[in-house]
Chains A and B, each alone.
Chain A
Amino acid sequence: MQGNIASAEGALAAGCTFFGGYPITPSTEVAEHMATRMPKIKGACFIQMEDEIASIAAVIGAAWTGARSMTATSGPGFSLMMENIGYAVMTETPCVIVNIQRGGPSTGQPTMAAQGDIMQVKFGSHGDYSIIALAPSSVQECFDLTAKAFNLADRFRTPVFLMADEVIGHMREKIEIPDSVEIVRPKPLPEGALPFAPGPDGVSGFAAFGTGRHIPVTGLTHDERGYPDTTNPARHESLVRRLVSKIEDARHDIADYSIVNEEAEYVFVCYGAPVRTVREVVERLRLPDTGYLQLRTVWPFPEGLLSRFPKVKAFIVPEMNLGMMAREIERHVSVPVIPVSKIGGDLHTPEELVEAVKAAGGLL
């Protein structure tokens, strides 16, 4: 099965009943598969919108009816979605956005892989905010992480992103589809509670439209009733700080990762397609003194995991961009962080990573 199809199937397994999308390479198979499958599922709706702005808008609208909602896109479409992604953050709307990353900027390389949107996903909309982003490195993970994304979206009432790339999205591998997946729906809005009053975890209960709670949803800075209150600095600060902290405070709880060889001196930190090359080097070629941390949750960044390698001399970060996450990692550690940046669409080769380790050894 192809990664894109696995992502669509993962969504359906998780009970996704609304997909709004617009065709864009290399994500289109997600929409095509949903267009084939959803009309045969009772209560499910697939709609091809007029552009990506409309797609994410429709997804957010559908989410407020209580539907598990999703869209899929790639670079240019992702850029178009940014304003409404901020709206989803501000209104605490659970939804899932799949981004099959391609080479940018602009139209760039439609058919080639990249990881150049990994900062945009966190910072692309205006204002301060936090989101959750997952990164699959196999077709199986496309299925598993898409299903999981819906649970995270509901639990934290936030947009959750599946940041795949063209390599993983278009790769075909055998996967195992479980009979059922875990489904965690949002906690309900208690009777009499204000719609945006946070619980102890900073997350409010959720009530769908049509259930009589009369919820006014606005992208303006608002109080716990949902009423606009845009000129009160304290109101804005407490709201935005809560939107950030409900996710950042849970970052080690949200973290989904693999660690191989905590005793390693040279530790790869990787996510998405480059994980494949890292595993080839560490597990198959057994390059001495190497280990890795694979991040399936990229954001919020679980920086505590970096301290799990007591003997580390350097972190080596292969990315299909010019060193975006490497800079994030650098913030948290005192040993050298060595980016292995590769753009153009080709995945790092095992030899390139072996070279990087050797070069790191020579540097130190």
Chain B
Amino acid sequence: MRHEIRFSGFGGQGIILSAVILGRAAALYDQKYAVQTQVYGPEARGGASMSAVIIDDEPILFPKVRDPDTYVIMSQQGFEKYGKSPRDDAVMLLDSDLVHDRPSCTWVGIPATLSAKKDLGREIVANIIMLGALTTATTVVSGPALEKAILDSVPKGTEDLNLKAMRRGQELGIEGGSS
């Protein structure tokens, strides 16, 4: 089964890291093939950033995501630039407070940034909440694989916080108000 996942948001939200973690989870712990790419500009913070992952059972040749079946969108500008015309059977996870529009495809609203601030006290883990939600709202990655990949990727001393964020995301992925 091939999945093409596109992440978008603004610089500083960890959009590229999200894709790196997802790719790592799939390639190293779900035993699939994965390729991660990105589009980025000169801004380290702000701007609309995009990253993408292809996950497949077979080796991946053309590496760029062109017609995603899964979206993770964390800003209105990111939605407008990279999320406006999804295919009909796509699933889009939205940060429900930061993205105002809603797509034509199936979508799941995740209050990731709000929850990161309110429940975990650290806005920076909003992207990990979104990743957690991916494991329950879609089938692109397994929970155990994601957990290992998160632990590989986050700074020492922040493991607990990030795992909490992932679990919170998993809950929100189930609860999420879908269209």
Q: Which residues of A contact B (CB under 8 A)?
A: 110-111, 167, 170-174, 273, 276-277, 279-280, 283-284, 346-347, 349-350
B138 smallest CB distance to A (angstroms): 20
Q: Is the interface of B mostly helix, strand, loop or mixed?
A: mixed
| Docked complex Cα distance between A347 and B35 (Å) | 15
With the chains together, A283 CA to B28 CA distance in Å? 25
A110 pairs with B42, CB closer than 8 A: yes
Shortest distance between the CB of A302 and any CB in chain B (Å): 23
B99 CB, nearest partner CB in chain A, Å? 25
Q: Per-position contact with A for B43-64: 1 when CB-CB < 8 Å, else 0?
A: 0000000000000000011111
- B36: A residues at CB distance < 8 A: 171-173
Given the complex of chains A and B, what is the CA–CA distance between A276 and B62 in angstroms?
A: 5
CB pair B27–A173 under 8 Å, yes or no, is yes
Closest B-chain residue to A347, C-beta based? B64
CB-contact partner of A280 in B33, B41, B62, under 8 A: B62
Instruction: Verify B63–A111 contact, CB threshold 8 A.
Output: no
Cβ-closest 10 pairs across A and B: A280-B62, A172-B36, A280-B61, A174-B27, A279-B61, A173-B35, A277-B62, A276-B62, A171-B37, A276-B63
Q: By the criterion CB–CB under 8 Å, are B37 and A170 in contact?
A: yes
Query: Do A167 and B42 touch (CB < 8 A)?
Result: no
Please indicate which of the listed interface residues A111, A173, A346 has the most CB atoms of chain B within 10 Å of its own CB: A173
**What are the residues of chain A within 8 A of B34 when measuring CB–CB?**
172-174
Separation of A152 and B45 alpha carbons in the complex (Å): 42
Cβ–Cβ contact A167 & B37, under 8 A: yes
Contacts of B61 in A (CB 8 A): 276-277, 279-280, 283-284
| Interface presence of B100 (CB below 8 A) | no
User: Hey, which chain B residues are within 8 Å of A284, CB to CB?
Assistant: 61-62
Q: Is B66 an interface residue, CB under 8 A from the partner?
A: yes
Measured CA separation A172–B52 after assembly (Å)? 10
Nearest Cβ distance between residue B65 and chain A, in whole angstroms? 11
For the complex, is B143 an interface residue (Cβ under 8 Å from A)? no
- Once bound together, how far apart are the Cα atoms of A171 and B60, in whole Å? 12
Which B residues lie within 8 Å of A167 (CB)? 37, 63-64
Q: How far is the CA of A126 from the CA of B23 in the complex (A)?
A: 44
Bound complex: CA A206 to CA B88 (Å):
64
Give B41's nearest chain A residue, CB to CB: A111
B136 within 8 A of A: no
Q: Mark B7-39, 1 if CB is under 8 A from A, else 0.
A: 000000000000010011001100001111111
Q: What CA separation (Å) do A70 and B22 show in the bound complex? A: 32
A280 to B62, CA, bound (A): 6
The answer to whether residues A172 and B62 also contact, given A111-B40, A111-B42, A167-B37 and a CB cut-off of 8 A, is no
Task: Decide if A172 touches B42 in the complex (CB within 8 Å).
Answer: no
Contact B63 A347 (CB under 8 A): yes
Contacts of A174 in B (CB 8 A): 27-28, 33-34
Complex formed: what's the CA distance from A171 to B64 in Å?
Answer: 10
CA A279 – CA B24 in complex, angstroms? 24
Q: Give the chain B neighbours of A279 by CB distance below 8 A.
A: 61-62
Task: Assess the A171–B63 pair: CB atoms within 8 A.
Answer: yes
Bound form: Cα–Cα A172–B24 in Å:
9
Residues of B within 8 A of A171 (CB): 35-37, 63
Bound-state CA distance A145–B27 (Å) is 22
What would 26 A/B residue contacts be, using CB atoms closer than 8 Å? A110-B42, A111-B39, A171-B36, A171-B37, A171-B63, A172-B20, A172-B23, A172-B34, A172-B35, A172-B36, A172-B37, A173-B33, A173-B34, A173-B35, A173-B36, A173-B63, A174-B34, A273-B63, A276-B63, A279-B61, A283-B61, A346-B64, A347-B62, A349-B62, A349-B64, A349-B66
